[in-house]
Amino acid sequence: MEGEKDILYVRRDKDGAVTLYVDEDWAVERGVDPSQLVKIEIPRELYANGTVQQLREYAATCLESLDESNRSS
């Protein structure tokens, strides 16, 4: 079905790097504060067939869009 999405939890590090997590529990197990995570919907095709770098770039673009919309609010 076209338009289906998968979820990743994303955290932007202080150095600007984007770290991806499959779910909140997995992130917490690795010492991440859940309040630092942003839930991002990833297109199914990208999730299934994209590289980790492509996923990071997509997530970074989403985070930038969220930052811009928060600044303009």
Domain locations along the chain: 5-72
Q: Does residue 73 carry a pLDDT above 80? A: no
pLDDT top residue among 4 and 24: 24
59: closest CA among 5, 32, 72?
Answer: 5
For residues 10-32, average pLDDT: 94
pTM of this structure: 0.84
pLDDT at 4: 87
